[in-house]
Amino acid sequence: MGIKKRWRCSTHVSRGCKALCYTVQGAVIAVNGCHNHKPKAESLEYIVIPSGRGRGILILFNGYTYASRGSLYTAYCSKRDTGCQARIKFSRDGQKRILLYESRIYCHDHPPPDYIVTKNGEYVKA
């Protein structure tokens, strides 16, 4: 296996954020806790990618994928069927800005999926 390394949120000291993750050889193996603060404004960008099954689209945000499942304003973690409660909410002004993500109640309970970017700029699940 390799050396297990713990990573804390950069605001751990200044804001008391308890979010952390564990890696082994650069691969995330566990995620613990949620951030107690909003991200910097520039990190609220997301990418729309085709789903792996070719049926619809996924939203790639902060390394995790989300599916809208019929809602215009809420997208749920693509691992929702396995029990993950994480979700993101969009603005209702037509701008599709992310307003809410990962509250203390709705955290991911798994590491993010691995995607690679092809030479054509397409995202493919590794």
Instruction: Write the pLDDT tens digit of every residue in 11-32.
Output: 777 878 888 888 787 677 777 7
* Domain residue ranges in the chain: 1-37, 38-125
Q: Tell me the average pLDDT of the chain.
A: 79
Nearest to residue 60, comparing CAs of 120, 11, 116, 19? Answer: 116
Task: Give, for 101, the enclosing helix (H) or strand (E).
Answer: strand 98-101
Answer whether residue 43 shows pLDDT above 60: no
User: CATH code for 38-125?
Assistant: 2.20.25
Q: Label residue 81 left, alpha or beta by phi (over 0 means left) and psi (-120 to 50 means alpha).
A: alpha
Mean pLDDT on 48-59: 81
Mean pLDDT on 50-74: 82
